[in-house]
Structures are given as structure tokens and as C-alpha cells.
Amino acid sequence: MAKVLDLDDYDAALRDLKRRIHDLETTSPVGYTSITRGALRVASEDGLIVQGSAFITGVLRTVGRIILEGLGILTVHGLIELFGNLLVKSGGYIKVDGGRIEAGDVRIEDGKVYVGTMVLDPSSNGGSVKFAGGPEVYATAGMLGLYSTGSGGWIEIDSSGARLNFGTRSVRVTSTGIQLSGIPTRTSASSNGAPVGCLWADTSNNVFRVV
């Protein structure tokens, strides 16, 4: 039942007015405010301060800048669509933990870089580039190598020289000379009487050791 105020009772009217003013002074209307139409405009600097958390189920649209200070951690569970450039300054970096970065046919994942069918792997043979079908370029302990899976052929270059190997045969070039291994042999009689122990080349430039 509504309270009936006797306007002739000035003391009661004054008490009621004081109560209403007190209620206005002590109430927190923002904590129970809902805006269904219109907008809330905050024009002062740092005019909106959230000490707890903010929960947004709709769209957060910003025309100005978003500045993260302190820890500066931005946690996103879902998809980020970036229409523009991403600039990292002042020695910062982008770290991907347990995920991957993709751009066209380039993918960075598990410490490796995938470019189409080519793989850059820093953990394989001291660092390698692997191509489709098995060929591989690698560098380890001051050596650069080229290896072809399945063919049994490989090339290695280091500070002491270069070596070309295929199967059981190889050629090594150093500052002191040339070393040949696994050279096929021919008899002196089938080599136009060439002396035993020398090298002989046929008309197809195949080299043999005369025995």
C-alpha cells in the first residue's frame, strides 16, 4: 500500500525530502544500469576504468588505438582476422607455442619451415633443407653436404676439401691432390698395352685402373 504524504505536515515532508536526497547521494545507479537504446559516451581521458573484468558477447569496435601495458598479454581463443599490417617494435617478437603460422604455401610449425614440398629443418644434420623426393642439403660441423635419397650419391665440402661419392666410388679433391676410390679395373691387354698401375680412359672417358 502506497504511503500517503500529508503536505500540511511540514516536518514529515522535510523528512521525506531528506530521505530522498540521502538515497540519491548513496545509491550506485551505474552498477544496475542497462542501455538498450542510445549510447554511453566517455570523453575524458581514462574515463572508463575496469578493475575487475569486462565481458563482451557482441562486437567490440575501436577506431582509435588499443594499448596493452603491464604484462601486456592478449589472450585469444579463436580466430583473429587482420586486415592490414602487424608491426613488432622495440625488440619484440612473435612466439607460437604449440601452433603454427601459415602464409600461402609457407607454414612454420614445430620449429620447421615448410615451403610447398620443401622443408627447412634446423634439427636435422645440424640444419638442412629437404626437397620432395629425398634430395637434401645440410650443414654440420663446418661441412656443407648434398645428399640424394635412393641414389646413394652425395657431395660434401669442408675446410680440408671436397668429396663426390656415388655407391662405392668417390673422388676427393684436397690441397695436396686428388684421391680416387672404387675405380674399376682393366687388364693391360684390354687397355692397348697400358702399364700396370696407371689410369686409362676409354673412348667414353670412363676411367679405369690398369691391373
* Helix-then-strand count for the chain, H and E: 1, 14
Split at pLDDT 50, 70, 90, the class of 24 is confident
Biggest CA pair distance of the chain? 146
**Overall number of domains in the chain:** 1
Residue 200 parent element (H or E) = strand 199-201
In a domain, 177, yes or no: no
Q: Picking from 42-51, 58-67, 68-77, 130-139, which range would have the lowest pLDDT averaged per residue?
A: 68-77
In a domain, 208, yes or no: yes
In a domain, 190, yes or no: yes
In a domain, 163, yes or no: no
Q: What are phi and psi of 15, to 5 degrees?
A: -65, -40
Q: Picking from 3-12, 13-22, 25-34, 192-201, which range would have the lowest pLDDT averaged per residue?
A: 3-12
63-117 per-position pLDDT tens digit: 888 888 877 788 888 888 888 888 888 888 888 888 888 889 999 999 899 999 9
In a domain, 92, yes or no: no
Split at pLDDT 50, 70, 90, the class of 195 is very high
The half-sphere exposure of 81 on its side-chain side, counting CA atoms within 13 A, is 0
| Higher pLDDT pick, 202 / 73 | 202
Split at pLDDT 50, 70, 90, the class of 47 is confident
In a domain, 74, yes or no: no
Report how far residue 117's alpha carbon sits from residue 107's, in angstroms, rounded to the nearest whole number.
11
168-187 per-position pLDDT tens digit: 899 999 999 999 999 999 99
In a domain, 56, yes or no: no
Domain hosting 189: range is 183-211
pLDDT average, residue stretch 207-211: 93
Neighbouring residues of 101: CB distance < 8 A, sequence distance ≥ 6: 94, 107, 108, 109
- Tell me the sheet residues that pair with 138: 128, 145
User: What rounded mean pLDDT belongs to the chain?
Assistant: 87
In a domain, 198, yes or no: yes
